[in-house]
C-alpha cells in the first residue's frame, strides 16, 4: 500500500488491538456496546435490539463504486454490509438488511477472508457498513487479516448511534470514520427510530471520532487516508434539521470537515406511515441544505452529480 501505514498495523504490533478485542468480547456478556444498552448475554445466544448474537452476520461483500470519490477511487471501496442495525430507521434504504435480517452468519476467519479478498480485488479500503453492534467481531477479524497481510485503510461507516466508550476501543484501529449525522431534533429521532437520545449521542460520537482521527486527509492520488468524513441525508420538510447540524459541525467539530450532503432520500421501508416522510426530497430542499452549509462556514463538500 502506498502512503502511511494503517492504524491497525501499529495496534497489532504494540498489542493494543488484542487488548481492545478482548475488552469488546467481554462486553458481549451483558451487552452495552451501543446506546440501547440492552444488557443481554450475546455470548450465550441472547439477542437485543440488533438481533445479533456472538457472531456477525453479513449481507454482502463487494467493491462499491457509489461511495464518495475519495473512498471509491478507480477500483472501488471494499464494502462489507453487516446485517441488522442498532438504530433501525423506518426509512432505511437497506430495509431488507437492517430490519428483515437478510444475510448469513460469518465467523472471524470468514470476515478476515472477506477483507483480504476485497484488498486482492484492488479495493482502496475496507468499508465496514453498519458496524456499531459488531465491534468485537470486527476487531477479531482485523487482527486475523492484518497478520495475513491486510494493509489498506479501515473505514467505520456508521449511523453515529455509537457510545463513546465503544468508540474508544477503536482508537488507533480505525483510519477513517464515516458517520451519518441524521437528525437534530430528538422528537424526529423518536418517531423514526425510537431513539430520542440520537442527537445527543451523535454529537458526542462525532467529537470522539474527530479527536481520534482529525479532519479528512486526502493524498495526492485523491484517496482518503485518514480522518473524519461526515454524511448527512437531507429529509423532506426540514425534518433532519440540516442547518443546525451544519452549524454544529462547523463550530464544534471543525470548519475544515469534509461533508457529504446527500439528496437521495426516498420513502423506503415504512416511511410512508410517518407524517412528512412519504414525500420525495425536492431539489429546492436540497439546495437549501447546501446553502446552509456554506453560510455556516463549511467549504469541503462532496459534490457528486445529483438526480431529482
Q: What is the pLDDT of residue 12?
A: 98
Q: What is the pLDDT of residue 2?
A: 43
pLDDT in tens, 101-158: 999 999 999 999 999 999 999 999 999 999 999 999 999 999 999 999 999 999 999 9
Q: Angle CA(238)–CA(239)–CA(245) in degrees, nearest 5?
A: 80
CA distance 229 to 150: 22
Q: What is the pLDDT of residue 272?
A: 84
pLDDT in tens, 189-220: 999 999 999 999 999 999 999 999 999 999 99
Would the pLDDT of 231 be above 90?
A: yes
pLDDT in tens, 71-108: 999 999 999 999 999 999 999 988 899 999 999 999 99
The answer to whether the pTM exceeds 0.85 is yes
CA distance 185 to 239: 8
Q: What is the pLDDT of residue 225?
A: 98
Q: What is the mean pLDDT of residues 8-22?
A: 98
Nearest one of 126, 122, 112 to 80, comparing CA atoms:
126
Q: What is the pLDDT of residue 306?
A: 59
CA distance 249 to 294: 12
Which DSSP string corresponds to 18-62? HHHHHHHHHHGGG--SSTT-----GGGT---TT---SSEEEEEEE
What end-to-end distance do the CA atoms of the chain give, in Å? 38
> Please, which residues have CB within 8 angstroms of residue 90's CB and are 6 or more apart in sequence?
192, 193, 269, 270, 271, 273, 274, 277
E strands, the chain, are 56-64, 77-82, 104-106, 126-129, 154-158, 176-179, 217-218, 224-233, 258-262, 300-301
Q: What is the pLDDT of residue 303?
A: 75
Question: Are the beta carbons of 82 and 68 closer than 8 angstroms?
Answer: no
Percent of the chain predicted with pLDDT > 70: 97
Q: How far is CA 179 from CA 3, 45, 74, 75, 270, in A?
A: 24, 29, 23, 22, 23
Q: What is the mean pLDDT of residues 238-245?
A: 97
Would the pLDDT of 1 be above 50?
A: no
Question: Are the beta carbons of 261 and 293 closer than 8 angstroms?
Answer: yes
**Mean pLDDT for the chain overall:** 95
Class of domain 7-27+59-301: alpha beta
Residue 3 pLDDT grade (very low, low, confident, very high; cuts 50, 70, 90): low
pLDDT in tens, 273-287: 888 898 999 999 999
Would the pLDDT of 308 be above 60?
A: no
Amino acid at each position: 500500500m502506498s502512503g502511511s501505514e494503517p492504524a491497525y498495523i501499529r495496534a497489532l504490533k504494540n498489542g493494543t488491538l488484542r487488548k481492545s478485542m478482548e475488552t469488546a468480547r467481554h462486553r458481549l456478556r451483558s451487552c452495552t456496546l451501543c446506546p440501547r444498552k440492552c444488557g443481554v448475554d450475546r455470548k450465550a445466544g441472547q439477542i437485543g435490539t440488533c438481533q445479533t448474537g456472538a457472531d456477525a452476520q453479513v449481507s454482502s461483500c463487494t467493491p462499491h463504486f457509489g461511495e464518495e470519490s475519495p473512498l471509491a477511487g478507480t477500483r472501488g471501496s471494499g464494502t462489507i454490509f453487516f446485517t441488522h442495525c442498532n438504530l433501525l430507521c423506518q426509512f432505511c434504504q437497506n430495509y431488507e438488511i437492517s430490519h428483515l435480517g437478510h444475510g448469513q452468519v460469518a465467523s472471524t476467519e470468514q470476515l478476515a477472508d472477506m477483507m483480504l479478498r476485497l484488498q486482492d480485488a484492488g479495493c482502496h479500503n475496507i468499508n465496514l457498513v453498519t458496524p456499531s453492534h459488531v465491534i468485537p467481531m470486527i476487531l477479531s477479524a482485523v487482527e486475523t487479516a492484518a497478520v495475513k497481510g491486510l494493509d489498506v485503510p479501515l473505514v467505520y461507516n456508521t449511523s453515529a448511534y455509537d457510545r463513546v466508550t465503544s468508540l474508544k476501543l477503536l482508537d488507533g484501529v480505525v483510519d477513517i470514520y464515516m458517520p451519518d449525522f441524521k437528525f437534530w431534533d430528538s422528537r424526529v429521532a423518536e418517531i423514526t427510530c425510537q431513539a430520542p437520545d440520537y442527537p445527543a449521542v451523535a454529537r458526542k460520537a462525532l467529537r470522539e471520532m474527530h479527536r481520534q482521527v482529525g479532519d479528512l486527509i486526502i493524498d495526492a492520488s485523491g484517496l482518503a487516508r485518514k480522518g473524519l468524513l461526515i454524511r448527512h441525508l437531507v429529509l423532506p420538510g426540514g425534518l433532519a434539521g440540516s442547518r443546525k447540524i451544519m452549524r454544529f459541525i462547523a463550530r464544534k467539530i471543525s470548519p475544515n470537515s469534509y461533508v457529504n450532503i446527500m439528496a437521495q432520500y426516498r420513502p423506503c421501508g415504512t416511511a410512508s406511515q410517518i407524517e412528512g416522510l412519504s414525500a420525495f426530497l425536492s431539489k429546492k430542499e436540497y439546495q437549501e441544505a447546501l446553502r446552509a452549509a456554506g453560510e455556516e462556514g463549511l467549504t469541503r463538500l462532496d459534490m457528486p452529480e445529483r438526480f431529482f
